[in-house]
Amino acid sequence: MPVNTLTETTPLTLNEGNATSPKGFRGAGIHCGVKREKADLALLVSEVPASAAGVFTTNKVKAAPVRYTQRAIAGGRAQAIVVNSGNANACTGDAGLADAAEMADVASKALGLDADLVLVASTGVIGVPLPMDAIRSGIPRAARELSSDGTAAAAAILTTDNFPKTAATRLEIDGVEVTIGGMAKGAGMIHPNLATTLCFLTTDASVPPAVLRGALKRAVSESFNAITVDGDTSTNDTVLLLANGRAGGPSITNGEALRRFTEGLTRIASELARMVVRDGEGATKLIEIAVEGAASDLEARQAAMTVASSLLVKTALHGGDPNWGRILAALGRSGVEMNEATTDVSFGELLVVRGGLGVSGVSGAAAAVLEEKEISVRVGLGVGDGHARVWTSDLSEEYVRINGSYTT
């Protein structure tokens, strides 16, 4: 019986890779009139029906496209995703749900697909009806512009983002090269569960729907559910994954092949999630919070997220202030098992707290570390073997400016 072998080949660079990098996927992005000027409508289409999985916001206020797509994806099959930006279609009642269904219907007719195979997502301002005339005319135009270049689609899903977020990687499974790609948007309202974003992942691997759901759930747990910018979870959070099998080869169902596929999927999701944090509204720094020595992995995640969510920690890191006391205070209120006397804190490789006490003579060096654009804060609790890693951003005056005038 042949051994299932899997080796990694050279990953695609971030500039090369996106959601249309896997075989059999095409994308388009246009301006249809939801926004005043910028691209605001995207299509992502597989050549053939694909296995489909999704993870959605846990907010009890769910946007119409979230409710529509949760039902549509229940069968585990999809072939296209239609996305608008500039309008969330959230808190719009039955009319909003009808508009989401119409988006799927218009897209299915333009693409020659069954409407049940079209998923819908929206992002933007809450509480405003969709301008359906613009969307009705825009979707057929986008369908005519589908191509293997997914850059326009990645740009069309953005709101307050400063740059498109795309990534892809190649893996070899049983001698067959498969590709995993994706695109995401997000800069504000970022926090588990789910982190505020739209993310669309694709692969040309063959993976059954039930297996795909498990792989996506794990990937999201270690990526989009491990980031925070401002502590807010949106009404529209959606991560969708399509697997169309166009690479050929056996179906991935278990064992080493599934482990490595999930590892590759997690790598792409994590890269996209870090981009979301790096592009956080008003953010100037990407900050990793790593906790080790916790009573459990769950408690390590809880401690790390408490530190990452602390406004006092985030503002101190923005200003380059090595105020480690704020970190200890956050750990102390996190609800996890800890002992101040066994707790260490490092900024990068620089130890600033040993056994709950500040290390003397390192303040200047610590401030220098915090001037970097990417910062690692490492915490050792010394009470167990649990560990976790999350990402956050600093909090600046610019965040207040952006969100003080979001609808005006």
Domain residue ranges of the chain, discontinuous segments joined by +: 6-278, 286-403
CA distances from 54 to 25, 199, 234 (A): 18, 10, 16
pLDDT bin (cut points 50, 70, 90) of residue 19 is very high
Report which listed range, 20-24, 156-160, 271-275, is most confident.
20-24
Query: What tokens were used for 285?
Result: 């720094």
CA distances from 267 to 74, 273, 408 (A): 26, 10, 37
Contact in structure between 278 and 391 (CB atoms under 8 Å): no
Residue 38: pLDDT over 60: yes
Burial call 223-256: b when 16+ CB within 10 Å, e when fewer: bbbbbbbbbebbbbbbbbbbbbbbbebeebeeee
pLDDT bin (cut points 50, 70, 90) of residue 405 is low
Task: Write down the pLDDT at residue 11.
Answer: 45
Task: Write down the pLDDT at residue 407.
Answer: 58
Q: Could you tell me where the DSSP H helices lie in 50-179?
A: 64-72, 93-111, 132-144, 151-156
Residue 49: pLDDT over 50: yes
How high is the mean pLDDT of the chain? 89
Which residues does residue 29 pair with via DSSP β-bridges, in sequence order? Answer: 42
Task: Give the span between the Cα atoms of 23 and 150, in whole angstroms.
Answer: 12
Instruction: Note the pLDDT tens digit of each residue in 112-149.
Output: 999 999 999 999 889 999 999 999 999 999 999 999 99
* Closest to 391 in 3D by CA, of 236, 222, 237: 222
Task: Write down the pLDDT at residue 231.
Answer: 53
| For residues 324-334, average pLDDT | 95
Question: First-to-last CA distance in the chain?
Answer: 65
DSSP letter at 47?
A: E
Question: Can 169 be counted among the known catalytic residues?
Answer: no
The reply to whether 6-278 and 286-403 are identical in fold is: no
Query: What tokens were used for 319?
Result: 């200003």
| Helix, strand, or coil (residue 224) | helix
Strand 227-228 and strand 344-347: pairing? unpaired
Task: Give the span between the Cα atoms of 24 and 203, in whole angstroms.
Answer: 9
CATH superfamily of 6-278: L-amino peptidase D-ALA esterase/amidase (3.60.70.12)
Task: Write down the pLDDT at residue 10.
Answer: 44
Lowest mean pLDDT among 203-217, 233-247, 334-348: 233-247
Task: Write down the pLDDT at residue 68.
Answer: 98
Catalytic residue among 57, 92, 179, 196: 196
Phi then psi for residue 173, to 5 deg, are: -125, 120
Top-level class of domain 286-403: alpha beta
Task: Write down the pLDDT at residue 191.
Answer: 46
Instruction: Note the pLDDT tens digit of each residue in 368-377.
Output: 999 999 999 9
Contact in structure between 241 and 209 (CB atoms under 8 Å): no
Contact in structure between 379 and 305 (CB atoms under 8 Å): no
